[in-house]
Amino acid sequence: MLPSDSNLRILLLGNGGREHAIAWKLSQSPLVSHIYAVPGNGGLAGLSHVTCVPDIKADDFEALAKFGKEKKVNLLIPGPEAPLVEGVVDYFHDQMGGYGADGKRGIRCFGPSKAAARMEGSKTFSKDFMQRHGIPTARYKNFTSSASSFAAASAYIESESLASPPRRVVIKASGLAGGKGVIIPTSTAEAITALREIMLEQQFGKAGDEVVVEEFLEGDELSVISFVDGSTVMSLPPAQDHKRVWDGDRGPNTGGMGTYAPTNIAGKSVLESIQRVQEMTVMGMRKEGFPFVGVLFTGFMMTQSGPKVLEYNVRFGDPETQSLLPLMKTDLAKVMLACTDGKLHTVNLEVLPKSAVTVVVAAGGYPGSYAKGTPMRLDDPHPSNTDTVLFHAGTSLSASGELTTSGGRVIASTAVADTLEDAVRKAYEGVKAVHFEGMQFRTDIAGRALKK
């Protein structure tokens, strides 16, 4: 690598537990000199290599690029999907010059172009992509919202319900809906109501301009996160999220209440077919003229007829990342540079032969309405428990050093251990160090895996 590569000045976009975990891991790299987190959070503010920049809006690309030039930033890492789907990578390449294997030396961006980010930004687009490339996914039909196609979509749902055996459907607003755009109805009437709300009443605004109606799939879910440099794909161990807010997978869906990795629900041959799907996806994108750089996160349903893709995300998952990065032995900055430079094949991605568990501590009421600005305290970890990290998600640190809650998911307690049992125990020990009024968390993260 060039000597200047060991002087990375990073602009990291986002304010969640995922971004804290990314910065925590990058801070361990000798290649990184400084990280600017826009806007950052209370945990990022506490890291020695990190400066939080709360007064720039993460969607103000002009201000971001101006700041990037001023601070001589040489690597952009967008954490969440919204800036990627809006084209932040293309904007930075325009403003600061592209970077690539063809000798260009502008800013490196660890993330996909706007065209490639459609894989997450548009579910109708990604479903058609999967169909074009023979990638296993649920049967589906896409619709554009209008009165006449509402009638057509309703008729499709009716016909699915009249099939023998009847087929249940899932309804998805195509655009970004902050994890709320997927409805799983329990009856045809409920399905048509959901359809009306999305297509005619614009419940999700523009995100509902297009709709996917697809077959309901039964099975366990699994998340696979892969590093991609445009052609090479290297995957981290499979992880499992816990989406529902309460124990026993009850209650409304959330952004994710906890994860563990690796999962034990996929054997070797299934993992091989999952890796094949990742490779087919990346090759397909390359062939269609929008090669993928960054993290490709694929959600799978493990059905009786094999793994099927539920969706693609074009960035790290939250809270999967909190479990996966502490398991990664290889320098994250090195892997990211290999991705931006099209040299991922030169890297040996090493993963610790251990388990990781993340338990999310949320504000009372989440995912409904919840209090913000609640004072909080974090005890120092027990000296014997050096494998537990408290990643901050929704916290802020005031100038005078007071920590308060500032979001629904507040803290992610992550632990790494030789066994899954120990990782669970240590992650819950970490939760005991968290104190604020109204805090809630699931007590059964990885519980099903332990029973198996």
In the complex, the residues that contact Mg ion under the rule CB under 5 A are 299
User: Binder to ligand ADP among 310, 324, 393, 416 (CB under 6 A)?
Assistant: 310
Closest CA relative to residue 369, chosen from 408, 409, 404: 408
What the block records as the tokens of 153 is 């979509």
Count CB neighbours of 289 within 10 A: 8
CB contact at 8 A, 359 and 431: yes
Alpha carbons 88 and 138: distance in angstroms, whole number:
31
Pattern 289-308, ligand ADP, x by CB under 6 A: ----------x---------
User: Binder to ligand ADP among 56, 63, 115, 182 (CB under 6 A)?
Assistant: 182
CB contact at 8 A, 82 and 178: no
Count CB neighbours of 444 within 10 A: 17
The residues in 160-179 that bind ligand ADP, with binding defined as CB under 6 A, are 170, 179
- Name the closest residue to Mg ion (Cβ): 299
Q: Does 225 bind ligand ADP (CB under 6 A)?
A: no
Question: Is the bond preceding 326 in cis, omega lying within 30 degrees of 0?
Answer: no
Closest to ligand ADP by CB, 131 vs 216, is: 216
Pattern 60-99, ligand ADP, x by CB under 6 A: ----------------------------------------
Alpha carbons 334 and 26: distance in angstroms, whole number:
9
Residues facing residue 130 across a β-bridge:
none
- Which uninterrupted H or E stretch holds 236? none
- Name the closest residue to ligand ADP (Cβ): 311
Residue with tokens 């990037």, as numbered in its chain: 68
Closest to ligand ADP by CB, 182 vs 349, is: 182
Closest to Mg ion by CB, 321 vs 340, is: 321
Q: What is the DSSP letter of 381?
A: P
DSSP string, 286-353: HHTT---EEEEEEEEEEETTEEEEEEEESS--TTHHHHHGGGB-S-HHHHHHHHHTT-GGG----B-S
What the block records as the tokens of 375 is 């004072």
Closest to ligand ADP by CB, 217 vs 446, is: 217
Strands 169-173 and 182-183: antiparallel
Q: State the minimum distance, in angstroms, from the CB of residue 218 to ligand ADP.
A: 7
CB contact at 8 A, 131 and 201: no
Q: State the minimum distance, in angstroms, from the CB of residue 362 to Mg ion.
A: 18
Q: Does 194 bind ligand ADP (CB under 6 A)?
A: no
Closest to Mg ion by CB, 281 vs 388, is: 281
Q: Does 249 bind ligand ADP (CB under 6 A)?
A: no
Span from 101-109, 211-219, 263-271, 377-385 in contact with ligand ADP (CB under 6 A): 211-219
Question: Is the bond preceding 3 in cis, omega lying within 30 degrees of 0?
Answer: no
Closest to Mg ion by CB, 219 vs 299, is: 299
Report how far Cα 99 is from the mean position of its chain's Cα atoms.
Answer: 24
Q: State the minimum distance, in angstroms, from the CB of residue 418 to Mg ion.
A: 30
Size of the site for ligand ADP (CB under 6 A): 15
Q: Does 57 bind ligand ADP (CB under 6 A)?
A: no
Alpha carbons 359 and 323: distance in angstroms, whole number:
9
Closest to ligand ADP by CB, 250 vs 268, is: 250
User: Binder to ligand ADP among 12, 217, 309, 344 (CB under 6 A)?
Assistant: 217
User: Binder to ligand ADP among 75, 138, 393, 420 (CB under 6 A)?
Assistant: 138
444 binds, among Mg ion, ligand ADP, none (CB under 5 to 8 A by kind): none
435 binds, among Mg ion, ligand ADP, none (CB under 5 to 8 A by kind): none
Q: Does 311 bind ligand ADP (CB under 6 A)?
A: yes
Binding positions for ligand ADP, rule: CB under 6 A: 138, 170, 179, 181-182, 184, 214-217, 221, 243, 299, 310-311
